[in-house]
Chain A
Amino acid sequence: MNQITSLPAWRGLCFLIQLLLLVLANQKISAGPSANFNFHNNPAYQVQGKITDSKTGDPLQGATIAIDGSRKAVRSDSAGNFSITIEKQKAVLLISHSGYTTQKIPVEDDKFLQISLVEDAAKLDEVVVVGYSRQSKNKITGSIATVNGDEIVKSNAGDLSNSLAGRVPGIITMQNSAEPGSDAAEVLIRGRATLNDNGPLVMVDGIQRDFNQIDPNEIQSISVLKDASAVAIYGVRGGNGVILITTKRGSSGKPTFNFTTYYGFQNPTQVPKYLNAYDYARLYNEAQHNDDPTAPAPYSDDDLQKYRDHSDPYDHPDVDWFKEVISRNAPQSRNTLSITGGSERIRYFMLFGMYDQAGMYSSVNFKKYNLRLNVDADITKTTTLSVGVFGGLQRKREPGVPDASRQGEGLYAVITYIPNNAFPVRNEDGSLGSIWGQSPIGEIEESGYIRKNTNDLQSSFTLNQKLDFVTPGLSAKVVYAKDFGYNHNKSWLLSYKSYSRADGELEEQLNRSSPNLTEEFGEYDNSTFETHINYNRTFGKHEVGALVLYSQSEFFNNGFSAFRREYITSAVDQLSAGPDANKDNGSNAAESGVEGVVGRFNYAFDQKYLFEASFGYNGSDNFPSNKRYGFFPAVAAGWVISKEPFFEGASSLVTYLKLRGSYGQVGNDKVGIRRFLYVPTVNYSDGYVINGSPVQGVDLGDPANLLVTWEKAKKSNIGIDLGIKGSLLSARLDVFYEQRNNILGTRNRSVPGTYGFTLPVENFAKVNNRGFEFEVNHNGNIGSFSYSLGFNVTHARNKVVFIDEPSNIPAYRQQTGKPLGQFFGYIAEGFYNDEADLHSWAQIPGVEPQPGDIKYKDLNGDGFIDEDDITAIGKSDMPENVYGFNIAANYKGFDLSALLQGATGYTVEFKDGILEFIYNSQAWEHHLDRWTPENHNASYPRLSLGQFNYKQESSTFWAKNAGYLRLKNIELGYTIPTRIFPKSSISKLRAYITASNLFTLSRVKYFDPEAPSGFPLFYPQQKGFFGGINVTF
């Protein structure tokens, strides 16, 4: 018997709901003829029409045409056409479309309707996806940002996480690497609020799923839930915010095909600028002289001359490795075909997508294939069955470069370590040049491969039952989702020959002694089950809505790996082909679960006074059985001032004004570190050798904390929505404040080492996070020229309130009171210019600086430069502010759009990566302006060959303000007038050219401003030029 204090009450509820539904469904049979039972007897007629945009005249696809007072609705097809059967003599059609003002049109006969919809800048009628439901924008009281699929499509990024920055207020991203297939950005909602995992919960079509695989063309919308009222229903998982991705679904009508293709080329935004062989050798001599003036110059004048005139390309080579190794114009393409259509009863959306991205090295490649099928079937008048199936394949290939995790970056490191004068690309006889067996060309082309394949199948089944016969507005829903898949990684690392040069002789070198093979296989199997009850009804001026649901999810994964080494041949890349002597294997498995009840109640009076209360009562298996479940409530209210009678005078200018506010408590069970924090574990370890044979070993894992619990977030939010003169201007402002406590940390910094164990994690740290988001949009038109302008900005600043750190260090050295990720270091104050400078400055124990070295400030004035002179420098490594400018314009078939995205308020420190000759590596262009006795006004200290030089200390010399502004996207398109095509063949044909990351303005030198601090041998961010076509037929 397990000791779980289970949820008998709400597991019972789960059954009760089902039982209820069964009984009700049966009652329905015995209830006799229902209201719409005999509609077939009424005279019916067809109404047809076409819906267009009032400004551009373009047909509008996907507008909803509903019969007022009935539940019947159809959608317009890609040509804007619709057809609906009307059973009553007179009816009123409600024509609505996301982003347009809804129109009411009375009909009484079957005439053809021409309807043009007017765009609504505030998009108040837009229906927004919220947690487990949808809500019209004008009733929203929380802080929810949305972006539509068409907006996301404009980004050519391979990974969806790179399409959000600047487009969605509240989102802060950092993309450290642009390696094809591994280029996901870190995505945060409103920045950081915990020392542990800050990542938001991501739900695709209501199910917790990874979103990286998704093709932008299959996205209907993305909602970002930010405040407590929006995320409380996610309870213990909602603390870091939630991203909801909704995929497209079908609409009635004849099949519409949409084919989108683009093809283009990418190049790094910024690559290091290294010195040519002559400058390298010259500076190397200088550095040697600086270190030891008596030492002979490593490079003679003759050497220097040969480097300079390239007269001896084999023994005095000058190789620009980036030029040799990086493929310029690496192609990238995406082809997507989608089909949508259906009858009134069955609607479908299908998509097939292919994405292909080459890397900046010839042997790097990433492909993915997407298949999606979303079907909605009205299996009875009141029952809808929805099925969503997604299949995805990813194929990533890299060279067999010996770097544990990040292959592309590993290669980047190889290049960086090799000076231009190290060896020729190829020797006289055509063989590869190298030192220590590493030739960049060999590494790329002859080192074997690392293949990473992932295969995903996701499916969900939703049965929605309207229960209006019980009471109007009631419905129930059951959702079941099953996701599974597997990944298979294979590393076939080959040895290749290269030749190093010693005294004119070529010496054979191997990069590794023999081929070896590693294979890893992993599978996962996740399932989710939900039961919902929904109620929505209007009583006069009172609008009431309620939602109760029970949800449970289980996650399981399992994997194993095997390797063999020292293959005698590279002929067959199979495990069974390798020798028995050098082999090993391993495995892992894990399971987890979440369970909970969610409730939400909405009330609106006269569309003026809005009120919402919601809760999540849920549990996570991350916590001990008696401490698993938590209750997370939130309340929100809104006041639409512009609807008040007293506001009427101003309403000609201010057409919409709403005040919103919310407060609530949410949890975060992503406590990181490890799972089962409440169980003292023992791990299998490397073991030992007894009697000449390996024996197994076990070792204590981390200690347990029986009281471990989730992080608690108290979130408050106040917002204003403003609309001026209809479409002229709309603006939103949200101000938030969050207190996060119960953050898990260890107190090891205060427990003596003689205790001998690491302490268990405890819930004690505290962080505050505050900020605002603002967005403003303007639409306008001048004749047939129409345009829109948008600006959004997100500001989030966190502060550590309590953390485990020694209390006897000075305040300026403490993390407390400063943001997470704060940089610490010395304050640099120029260079020592002469001996007098050296003597007058504070001493550094154990170090004898030379003129030309960096001077550090003696912060505490004790005459010594030591740890107590380290202080907070710069800011944190995550931007405090992210902003975006959106521009779009249309003129007679031409369209132009651009996104300028920027970030400020963060720091990068590329210290080790940009030093000269470090580990005998390259020297850079910026070393030319080094300090010399003649050049005191230098930007770089004196040169040295020393590896452990104290200039490597973190200091303001290296820490730089990393703000940037980049043209993330610009696109110019032309839509060819459809009249030139035969009727009903092609309804839309658009050609476009687009560019991403075209330019970046930043004070950061050497690398891209989003490059990781430290030793940034990363795969650089890319800029791309693409051309594409979009056809609908």
Chain B
Amino acid sequence: MKIRNVYLIIIGFSIALMACRKNVLDKKPLDVLTEENVWTDVNLGRAYVNQLYASLPGGIERDLDGATEIEDGNKQSTRTYAVGEVTAVNSPFSSSWETYSVIARINKFLENFNPPDAEQEEIDGLKGEALFLRAFFYRELNDLFGGVPIVEKVQSLDEDLVVSRSTYDDCVEFILTDLDQAAEFLPDPADAEVGRANKGAALALKSRVLLYAASPLHNPGNDPAKWQRASDAALAVIDGGFGYALYPNYNELFLNDNNEEVIFDIQYQFPFRTTSNDYTLNPQGLNGAFGNSRPTQNLVDRYEMANGKQITDPTSGYDPNNPYENRDERFYGTVLYNGVEWRGIEIETFFDGAFGPGVNDTYSTGAHMTGYYLRKFLNQNEDTNPIIFQDNRADQNWILIRYAEILLNYAEAQLALGNENTAREYINMVRARANQPDLPASVTGAALQERYVNERTIELAFEEQHYFDIRRWKLAPELHAGTIYKMEIENDNGNFIYSIGEMEERIWNDSYYYLPIPQEEIDKNENLSQNEGY
């Protein structure tokens, strides 16, 4: 009895002894990495840079062009611009300010990444990508806000965080420094992985930066030196031997990923990275699609006839009762209109048609019926791209820079420098892809300038260029403001009666050249000045 007692106690407490573990609190995260892992391992460093690409801004979901006259949709963001209610508190695109969080990540990478076992070339390549991306983000910030604080190092918390804004031109120089360094580090497009930044992309972005910087908004004295730099930068891409060329089919250019015209883009791949384009852009009511980003009559009227004449030209052959016949093929590649066949059905945008305004309209659905839907970027194949509510399946890449832009950049710079023939030649290159006849040599001066504006507007419509173009050209007061038109269509037993109607009057304030700095940032940083008019 007693002996058993002792054994029991011994056994019991021996078990207890084993149970009494050391280091109970010495726990580590089991399913996340630490920062130190990333800076010392080249593969993790690459994964870190991969994730930076995932933050690239842009796309039809953000839709900067929605805040211009070429579009009228039912999106809250773009409505704010249409009705002139942008304030420092309520400014939809101001969330771009959050780009600073990506810039901070890039800064951290540039400062810390130094894996001991990696080859210098590999390290430089990744740093080159990071520098390119930093330039890309600053370019956006600079053009959206007009001169922003330059943060090029990881700030420590005890350092003064209340930074001030640099001028637009200082930002440009900072961006160019990054791009020059990136171009040095990055491989030629042929040697780079598809989707990563390369030397061609760095030079192409430089062309955009310098063209914008030379434009009237930022070059009030019209300094020709600025235009010359812009021209040189564009030519460096054109003559760079990178193998860029215009893709033969305008509509398929946006559907056939990674073609020869693409210089830099955001990559998507079903099912890993997708967008909501199919159900947000397809005609409203088609399997529950939203029909966002609707083209306006203002845009549609810009498309020439296939014979190269503008529809305002009495000899163009434009028939207001058959408005969609014989137009520039970019019209058919960009716009879905009444009567066009789409996904096996005929698009009806007439009154009480399947996708048109009607008696049952509500505020949310009917008020922004322009008579058109967007076709650009949309895949017609119902098998690969079914329309399913909240099911993101679209995986076309979103092109950020393409060769046509560079050609137009060069044309614009040459035009400003007075070389009209060269300008016309490069405009015609872009027209030729759409099978539009060359601009005749008789088009000169202001007329040529206007044709250039028209060309760039339709070629790059909805690609988030128009938003910046009308501002830097200082044409926004006349283009953004004023009447937005829509097409009103009556169905008279299968005969359609077309009449152009007024949709709304839009408001422009000169403060809209730039976004307001978000009010909460002004509140937190006394050194941050607000843009004029906010």
Bound together, the chains give a CA A554 to CA B22 distance in angstroms of 11
Indicate the member of A2, A529, A553, A628 with the most B CB atoms within 10 Å: A529
Are the CB atoms of B54 and A22 closer together than 8 Å?
no
Q: Is the CB of A683 within 8 A of B47?
A: no
Q: Which of the residues B16, B48, B528 comes within 8 Å of A752, measured between beta carbons?
A: B528
| A591 near B30: Cβ-Cβ < 8 Å | yes
Residue from B19, B35, B196, B288 in contact with A480 in the complex, judged by beta carbons closer than 8 Å: B19
Cβ contact within 8 Å between B273 and A681: no
* Among B25, B33, B51, contact of A620 (Cβ-Cβ < 8 Å): B25
A-side contacts of B21, CB under 8 Å: 529, 552, 554
* In the complex, chain A residues whose CB is within 8 Å of the CB of B76: 948
Interface size on B, residues (CB 8 A): 95
Q: Is A699 an interface residue (CB 8 A)?
A: yes
Asked whether A690 lies within 8 Å of B194 as measured between CB atoms, the reply is yes
* A861: Cβ under 8 A from any B Cβ: no
B-facing residues in A442-465 (Cβ within 8 Å): 463, 465
In Å, the complex CA distance between A478 and B11 comes to 12
Q: Majority SS of interface residues in chain A?
A: mixed
Say yes or no: is B225 at the interface (Cβ < 8 Å to chain A). no
Which residues 371-423 of A sit at the B interface, judged by CB distance below 8 A? 379-380, 382-383, 385
Q: Tell me, yes or no, whether B446 is within 8 Å of chain A by CB.
A: no
Partner of B17, one of A18, A512, A695: A18
**Cα distance A588–B108 in the bound complex, in angstroms:** 27
Is the CB of B269 closer than 8 A to any CB of chain A?
A: yes
Chain B 1-32 near chain A by CB (<8 Å), digits 1 or 0? 11111101110110111011111111111111
Q: Quick check: B29 and A698 within 8 Å, CB to CB?
A: no
Asked if B268 is an interface residue, CB under 8 A from chain A, the answer is yes
A681-B34 contact in complex given A699-B51, A752-B162, C-beta closer than 8 Å: yes
> Are A698 and B30 within 8 A (Cβ)?
no
What's the least CB distance linking A204 to chain B, in Å?
A: 19
Chain B residues whose CB sits within 8 angstroms of the CB of A385 once the complex forms: 8, 12
Most chain B C-beta atoms within 10 Å of own C-beta, residue among A552, A593, A757 = A757
Is residue A38 contacting chain B, with contact meaning CB distance below 8 A?
no
B34 engages A697 (CB within 8 Å): no
A691 to B272, CA, bound (A): 13
B105–A699 CB distance below 8 A:
yes
Please pick, from A382, A529, A700, A947, the residue contacting B20 in the complex, using a CB distance under 8 A. A529
Is A89 part of the contact surface with B, judged by Cβ < 8 Å? no
For the complex, is A582 an interface residue (Cβ under 8 Å from B)?
yes
Residue A696 CB within 8 A of the other chain: yes
Taken residue by residue from 677 to 696, chain A's Cβ proximity to chain B (1 for < 8 Å, 0 otherwise) reads as 00111111111111111111
Cβ-based interface call for A782 (8 A): no
Check: A808 CB closer than 8 A to any chain B CB. Answer: yes
| A751 located at the interface, meaning its Cβ lies under 8 Å from any Cβ of chain B in the complex | yes
Instruction: Report B90 CB to chain A, min CB distance, Å.
Output: 7
Alpha-carbon distance between A946 and B523 when the two chains are bound, in angstroms: 32
Q: What chain B residues lie within 8 Å of A292 (beta carbons)?
A: 363
What 1/0 flags go to A945-983 for Cβ under 8 Å of B?
111100000000000000000000000000000000000
Judge whether B16 and A685 touch: CB under 8 Å.
no
Closest residue on chain A to residue B159 by CB atoms: A755
Most buried by B among A18, A288, A692, A752: A752
Contacts of B105 in A (CB 8 A): 699-700, 756
Given A4-B23, A288-B362: A582 in contact with B271 (beta carbons within 8 A): yes
B114 within 8 A of A: no
B44 x A698 contact (CB < 8 A)? yes
- Tell me which of A553, A683, A692, A845 contacts B32 (CB under 8 A): A683
Between A11, A700, A756, the greatest number of chain B beta carbons within 10 A of the residue's beta carbon is seen for A756
Q: Are A592 and B27 in contact (CB under 8 A)?
A: yes
Q: Are A21 and B24 in contact (CB under 8 A)?
A: no
Nearest-neighbor residue (CB-CB) of B15 within chain A: A480
A480 to B16, CA, bound (A): 7
B163, A754: Cβ atoms under 8 Å? yes
| Interface size classification for chain A | 35 or more
Of A590, A628, A689, A698, the residue contacting B273 (CB under 8 A) is A689
- Name B267's contact: one of A2, A625, A690, A917 (CB within 8 Å): A690
Q: Is residue A863 contacting chain B, with contact meaning CB distance below 8 A? A: no
Would B272 and A687 count as touching, CB distance under 8 A? Answer: yes
Task: Name, among A380, A595, A687, A689, the residue most crowded by chain B CB atoms within 10 Å (CB to CB).
Answer: A689
Cβ contacts under 8 Å, B122 to chain A: none
Q: Which residue of A lies closest to B3 (CB)?
A: A29
Chain B residues near A699: list those with CB within 8 A.
48, 51, 105
How many angstroms between the C-alpha atoms of A478 and B48 in the bound complex?
A: 50
A11/B20 in contact, CB under 8 A:
yes
Bound form: Cα–Cα A472–B193 in Å: 81
Instruction: Determine whether the beta carbon of B388 is less than 8 Å from that of A512.
Output: yes
Inter-subunit contact B35/A680 (CB<8 Å): yes
Residue of A nearest to B366 (CB): A295
Contacts of A591 in B (CB 8 A): 27, 30
| B361 at interface by CB-CB < 8 Å | yes
Instruction: Tell whether B59 is near chain A: CB-to-CB under 8 Å.
Output: no
| Chain B proximity of A673: nearest CB distance (Å) | 14
Contacts A22-B10, A688-B51, A689-B273: A682 and B20 contacting too (C-beta < 8 A)?
no
CA distance A595 to B26 in the complex (A): 11
Provide the residues of chain B in CB contact with A697, threshold 8 Å: 47-48, 50-51, 54
- CB atoms of B22 and A6 under 8 A apart: yes
Over the window 282-322 of chain B, the binary record of Cβ atoms lying under 8 Å from chain A Cβ atoms (1 yes, 0 no) is: 00000110000000000000000000000000000000000
Q: Which residues of A sit under 8 angstroms from B24, Cβ to Cβ? A: 552-554, 593-595, 621
Does A14 sit at the interface, judged by CB under 8 A? Answer: yes
Please name all residues of chain B whose beta carbon is closer than 8 Å to the beta carbon of A753 when the two chains form the complex.
97-98, 100-101, 518, 520-521, 524
For A525, the chain B residues whose CB sits under 8 A away are none
A945–B518 Cα distance when bound, in Å, is 31
- Which chain B residue has the least Cβ–Cβ distance from A591? B27
Q: Is the CB of B523 within 8 A of A867?
A: no
Is B16 in contact with A531, judged by CB distance below 8 angstroms?
yes
Q: Which of B149-157, B168-176, B437-445, B477-485 contacts A (4 or more CB under 8 A)?
A: B149-157
Please give the distance in Å from A357's CB to the nearest CB on chain B: 31
Cβ-closest chain A residue relative to B7 = A25
Complex Cα distance, B27 from A553, in Å, reads 12
Q: Does chain A have a CB within 8 A of B38?
A: yes
CB contact under 8 A between A295 and B361, given known A698-B44, A753-B521: yes
B103 CB within 8 Å of chain A: yes
Is B386 an interface position by the 8 A CB rule?
yes
Is the Cβ of A590 less than 8 Å from the Cβ of B34?
Answer: no
Of B30, B50, B359, which is in contact with the most chain A CB atoms at under 10 Å from its CB? Answer: B50
Residues of B within 8 A of A749 (CB): 524
- Closest residue to B521 on the A side, CB-wise? A753
Q: How far is the CA of A698 from the CA of B54 in the complex (A)?
A: 11
Q: Given the complex of chains A and B, what is the CA–CA distance between A554 and B26 in angstroms?
A: 10
Check A685/B26 contact, CB under 8 A, given A14-B20, A29-B6, A751-B524. no
Residue among A553, A565, A681 with max Cβ neighbours from chain B (10 Å): A681
A808 to B520, CA, bound (A): 11
In the complex, A846→B87 CA distance in Å? 10
Asked whether A691 lies within 8 Å of B157 as measured between CB atoms, the reply is: no
Minimum CB–CB distance from B276 to chain A (whole Å) comes to: 15
State how many angstroms separate the Cβ of B47 from the closest Cβ of chain A.
4
- Contact assessment for B273 and A686 in the assembled complex, using a CB-CB cutoff below 8 Å: yes
Contact with A along B350-378 (1 / 0, CB 8 A): 00000000011111100000000000000
With A and B bound together, what is the CA distance between A690 and B280 in angstroms?
26
Say yes or no: A696-B33 contact (C-beta < 8 A), given A480-B19, A593-B25. Answer: no
**Complexed CA–CA distance, A383 and B13 (Å):** 13
Cβ A383 vs Cβ B50 within 8 A: no
A298 to B50, CA, bound (A): 51
Could you jot down 13 A-B contacts, CB within 8 Å? A4-B26, A29-B6, A595-B24, A681-B35, A682-B32, A687-B273, A689-B273, A691-B195, A692-B258, A698-B51, A750-B524, A846-B83, A917-B362
Beyond A590-B30, A628-B25, A686-B273, 14 additional pairs, beta carbon < 8 A: A478-B12, A512-B388, A588-B31, A682-B32, A682-B38, A686-B51, A686-B272, A694-B273, A695-B47, A696-B50, A700-B35, A754-B525, A846-B85, A947-B363
